[in-house]
């Protein structure tokens, strides 16, 4: 089949939350953007995750005008309880003692996906669905050529910049010859919603068990999103159980603090690995989000970190004369490396330092929790990390033109819960 050829400023490969948000921001800033997504138009319908968004991430969404659409379906996190199975008590962080209305917000992944789908239609991004990368040509001086394959044939695009936003298994990254550091954790995560007979009152729970971490995140409507990490063979068993068997096992682990738990939706399974790209850019090509760094979900930091990539990259590209210029990409990489290193190191430590079968782990955890509880500055550092309070280029993002509306799109809800976090 003949390939049609077209020029554009930026080609984004991968229409997940990272590629989707970046596409909207760049198009609103006046760049000609094409977004290629391998999946169907609404691939996230079956995504059962509830994303814990740090306060800094909520601010980015708010600055760019999208938070008002997400807010009605967000649940503020008022307290985080960290505990160890078999140990006494828990470390509690609460919003009031941090001087903020909420430590973060939990938003269903499917809701973010739906919001971005509307936003993409409204911004004039050309979206190629069910379309993936076939060939990445060597970079010319001005552009990088790419062949994409989709249901209506091949597309040849010559972009001033190609953005790899195609997740941890990024084919775009591989085609550019960028190597990765990869560690497959011997565990998967089962993710599903439950209802509890006692209200969660905005409390999030993170419990370290001998199998791995177990988190319950508060959701609107009295639901909680469960992220249950365990060795792969235990996940096999749990995935094959009936809802009532699985919930009985969960109840035995978390106790009765939330009353009786009931299944409230399908179960999805996620393999867990650490993937770090050895570099963040190539000639007229840049990595962002999970394509640059895939993390264990223990600290709920992956998307938060990724959206800081988006904020910095959008700021740099919108103020550059040539979005693919090497100095622009080098400045982005320099600005992001420290944050990525820090978050990946802390997350990997939590994922590996407290896991299955290591005899020293309970003691290390007990010591860590004691330290966290007793030493104010350390606790503050943890809370700031968890809330994502690192400086963000809000000034640049605020300068974007107002949010355009898709014709026929539902007007943004006015309830701005969590505003001003």
Ligand X SMILES: Cc1cc2nc3c(=O)[nH]c(=O)nc-3n(C[C@H](O)[C@H](O)[C@H](O)COP(=O)(O)OP(=O)(O)OC[C@H]3O[C@@H](n4cnc5c(N)ncnc54)[C@H](O)[C@@H]3O)c2cc1C
Residues contributing to the site for ligand X (CB under 6 A): 13-19, 36-39, 43, 49, 51-52, 132-133, 165-167, 171, 189, 191, 227, 270, 289-290, 297, 300-304, 306
Q: DSSP label at 277?
A: E
User: Which residues, 6+ apart, have CB-to-CB distance to 372 below 8 Å?
Assistant: 82, 91, 378, 379, 382
Cβ at position 359, least distance to ligand X in Å: 27
Q: Which residues pair with 150 in a beta bridge?
A: 153
Residue 405 buriedness (CB in 10 A; 0-12 / 13-18 / 19+):
middle
What is the number of alpha carbons within 13 Å of residue 169 lying toward its C-beta?
A: 6
Quick one: which of 187, 219, 226 has its CA closest to 355? 187
Cβ at position 395, least distance to ligand X in Å: 23
Q: Which is nearer to ligand X, 162 or 397 (by Cβ)? A: 162
Cβ at position 88, least distance to ligand X in Å: 27
Separation of alpha carbons 184 and 167, rounded Å: 15
Q: Which is nearer to ligand X, 229 or 396 (by Cβ)? A: 229
Separation of alpha carbons 335 and 332, rounded Å: 5
What sign for the dihedral angle of Cα 18, 24, 29, 32? positive
Separation of alpha carbons 240 and 221, rounded Å: 27
Residue nearest ligand X, Cβ-based: 16
Cβ at position 61, least distance to ligand X in Å: 12
Strand 293-294 versus strand 268-277 pairing type: antiparallel
Q: Which is nearer to ligand X, 238 or 366 (by Cβ)? A: 238
Q: Which is nearer to ligand X, 65 or 297 (by Cβ)? A: 297
Helix H or strand E encompassing 311: helix 302-318
Quick one: which of 26, 32, 13 has its CA closest to 317? 26
Cβ at position 132, least distance to ligand X in Å: 4
Q: At 402, is the secondary structure helix, strand, or coil?
A: coil
Cβ at position 374, least distance to ligand X in Å: 27
Cβ at position 321, least distance to ligand X in Å: 27
Residue positions counted in the chain? 421
Separation of alpha carbons 15 and 38, rounded Å: 8
Quick one: which of 178, 169, 172 has its CA closest to 135? 172
Q: Which is nearer to ligand X, 270 or 349 (by Cβ)? A: 270
Q: Which is nearer to ligand X, 287 or 318 (by Cβ)? A: 287
Q: Which is nearer to ligand X, 37 or 62 (by Cβ)? A: 37
Q: Which is nearer to ligand X, 31 or 298 (by Cβ)? A: 298
Cβ at position 363, least distance to ligand X in Å: 27
């Amino acid at each position: 089949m003949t390939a049609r050829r077209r020029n554009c400023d930026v080609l984004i490969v991968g229409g997940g939350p990272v590629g989707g948000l970046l596409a909207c921001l760049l198009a609103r800033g006046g760049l000609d953007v094409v977004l290629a997504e391998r999946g169907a138009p609404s691939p996230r319908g079956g995504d059962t995750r509830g994303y814990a968004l740090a306060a800094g991430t909520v601010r980015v969404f708010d600055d760019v005008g999208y938070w008002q659409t997400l807010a009605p379906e967000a649940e503020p996190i008022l307290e985080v309880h960290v505990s160890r199975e078999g140990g006494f008590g828990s470390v509690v962080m609460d919003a009031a003692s941090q001087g903020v209305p909420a430590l973060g917000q939990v938003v269903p992944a499917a809701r973010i996906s739906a919001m971005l789908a509307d936003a993409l239609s409204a911004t004039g991004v050309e979206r190629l669905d069910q379309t993936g990368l076939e060939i990445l040509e060597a970079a010319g001086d001005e552009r990088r050529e790419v062949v994409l394959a989709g249901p209506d044939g091949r597309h040849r695009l010559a972009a001033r910049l190609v953005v790899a936003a195609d997740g941890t298994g990024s084919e775009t990254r591989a085609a550019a010859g960028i190597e990765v550091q990869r560690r497959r954790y011997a565990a998967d995560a089962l993710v599903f919603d439950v209802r509890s007979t006692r209200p969660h009152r905005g409390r999030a729970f993170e419990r370290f068990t001998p199998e791995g971490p177990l988190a319950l995140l508060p959701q609107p409507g009295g639901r909680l999103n469960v992220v249950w990490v365990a060795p792969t063979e235990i996940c096999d068993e749990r995935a094959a159980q009936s809802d009532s068997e699985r919930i009985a096992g969960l109840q035995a682990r978390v106790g009765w603090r939330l009353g009786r738990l009931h299944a409230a939706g399908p179960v999805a399974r996620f393999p867990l690995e650490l993937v770090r790209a050895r570099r963040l850019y190539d000639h007229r090509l840049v990595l962002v989000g999970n394509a640059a760094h895939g993390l264990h979900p223990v600290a709920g930091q992956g998307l938060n970190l990724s959206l800081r990539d988006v904020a910095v990259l959008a700021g740099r590209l919108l103020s550059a004369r040539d979005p693919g210029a090497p100095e622009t990409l080098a400045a982005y990489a320099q600005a992001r490396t420290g944050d990525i290193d820090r978050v990946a190191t802390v997350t990997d430590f939590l994922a590996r330092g407290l896991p299955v079968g290591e005899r020293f782990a309970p003691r290390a955890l007990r010591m860590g929790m004691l330290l966290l509880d007793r030493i104010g500055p350390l606790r503050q550092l943890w809370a700031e990390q968890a809330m994502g309070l690192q400086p963000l280029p809000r000034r640049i993002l605020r300068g974007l033109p107002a949010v355009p509306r898709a014709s026929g799109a539902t007007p943004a809800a006015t309830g701005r819960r969590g505003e001003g976090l």
